[in-house]
Amino acid sequence: MKILHVIPSVSLVYGGPSQMVIGLCGALAALGHEVTIVTTNSNGDRGQAALDVPIGIPLRQEAGFDILYFNCKPFKRYKFSLGLFQWLNQHIRDYDVVHIHALFSPVSSIAATIARLQNVPYILRPLGTLDPADLQKKRLAKQLYAQLLERPNLAGSSALHFTSDQEAKISERFGVNTIDWVLPLGVQLPAPEQDLQTLRSQYQIATDRPILLYMSRIEPKKGFDLLIPALKAIASDTDFHLILAGANPQDPNYAEAIKKQVEQAIGSDRLTCTGFVSGALKRDLLELADLFVLPSYYENFGIAVAEAMSVGVPVVISDQVHIHTDITHSDSGWVCECEANSLARSLKIALTSKTLRDTKGQNAAKFANTTYSWAAIAPQLTQKYETLLTKTR
């Protein structure tokens, strides 16, 4: 098949949702499909330089698929790209199926509109944008946007791709009946590079001190108003060192404020802030961690959780991380309520019992490396694509 993926950006600064497309397309290409990603050169929304990439030229990736980048013009902040839209209008019928990632973005919305008008089968992956909590942000603007663009696009879609049963269950459809596909995301991490003891020494963390890792964007929905008081509550009688790995390219001031609040809560000697991490360092930090934490208020999947699990790190997450049932059923960690005392209790139990951490970490690795695997997911997705082609023939 010829498969086109459309996403506003694949820049590392946007985290897991952008990067998962790379892993998925590599797995689809490995099955013999002709796969292309069309995206913009956006690289952050607060004045950062655009990605230094050729524009409008297919760039063959080592994994066997192509990426085409287009300039964000004239509205960089909202990833609006006239060049990309013109290319889609001319070439979208060259593809058998189009997989579009994210809603409420001009790139995604206009791509879906073009596919719909040209009768090309398309799948929408909402990326959590249909979560009722997310829809409350800029509510009136989103209601108008939905009626003008997203509702017709939902109605014309061949399917919606959700990454968990809970995401599918709670997502808003604006009165439209949809066909839902529930397929998880896959984990793709590079090989580790650094000796872990050397890395621990570099961050000045005592050998016998458990390392708690937060690795995600630093933004309000991640539950810092739960995490900070929970850490403060257990700091006096529970030993741990927190590595805070993340940033916020849209609101760096918020990220800085959070770092200061965490330092005040637990002390600078128990905190390491790395900023945004990727590549080998990301893998090294995951390997270094004894426990992973993500108390989000809503998370349609939680790729960082799956990545931690894949290297044998048990997790503490909220029950609004939508793969929390996987963690419970596989006994891969602890699931708490979105409440500081509940989070504190889970963290305290996990940090004070190495035996429990080891057992749950082994369970996590076993589950993640079979369920959150692109090699397992890509054939399932291929079968679903083929059902669409059968209907259109």
Closest to 89 in 3D by CA, of 70, 106, 66, 112? 112
pLDDT tens across 274-286, in order?
999 988 999 999 9
| Cis ω for the linkage preceding 190 (within 30 of 0) | no
For residues 4-18, give the mean pLDDT: 84
Is 37 within a domain?
yes
367 and 304 in one domain? yes
200 and 177 in one domain? no
Domain, as residue range, for 315 = 196-371
For residues 193-220, give the mean pLDDT: 94
Count of beta carbons in the 10 Å neighbourhood of residue 178: 16
Question: What pLDDT does 374 receive?
Answer: 93
174 and 146 in one domain? yes
Is 275 within a domain?
yes
pLDDT at 338 over 60: yes
3-state secondary structure of 129: coil
pLDDT at 50 over 90: no
pLDDT tens across 93-127, in order?
999 999 999 999 999 999 999 999 999 999 999 99
User: Pairing between strand 241-245 and 211-215?
Assistant: parallel
159 and 116 in one domain? yes
Question: What pLDDT does 73 receive?
Answer: 75
386 and 253 in one domain? no
Question: What pLDDT does 242 receive?
Answer: 98
Is 191 within a domain?
no
Question: What pLDDT does 47 receive?
Answer: 67
157 and 211 in one domain? no
Mean per-residue pLDDT of the chain: 93
pLDDT at 392 over 70: no
Domain count, the chain: 2
260 and 163 in one domain? no
288 and 317 in one domain? yes
332 and 383 in one domain? no
pLDDT at 191 over 80: yes
Question: What pLDDT does 182 receive?
Answer: 96
Strand order, beta sheet including 180-182: 59-60, 66-70, 34-40, 2-6, 97-101, 122-125, 159-162, 180-182
Closest to 184 in 3D by CA, of 387, 386, 381? 381
Which CATH number does the domain housing residue 93 bear?
A: 3.40.50.2000
Across the chain, how many H-helices and E-strands are there? 16, 14
96 and 240 in one domain? no
- Confidence category of residue 45, pLDDT binned at 50, 70, 90: low
Is 116 within a domain?
yes
149 and 83 in one domain? yes
59 and 200 in one domain? no
pLDDT at 216 over 60: yes
pLDDT tens across 121-171, in order?
999 999 989 999 888 888 899 999 999 999 999 999 999 999 999 999 999
Q: What percent of the chain has pLDDT over 70?
A: 97
For residues 27-45, give the mean pLDDT: 93
β strands within 55-207, DSSP E = 59-60, 66-70, 97-101, 122-125, 159-162, 180-182
Question: What pLDDT does 262 receive?
Answer: 98
For residues 34-60, give the mean pLDDT: 90
- Higher per-residue confidence, 309 vs 131: 309
Q: State the residue for tokens 């459809």.
A: 173
Please name the residues in contact with 196: beta carbons below 8 A apart, sequence gap of 6 or more.
284, 287, 288
Is 251 within a domain?
yes
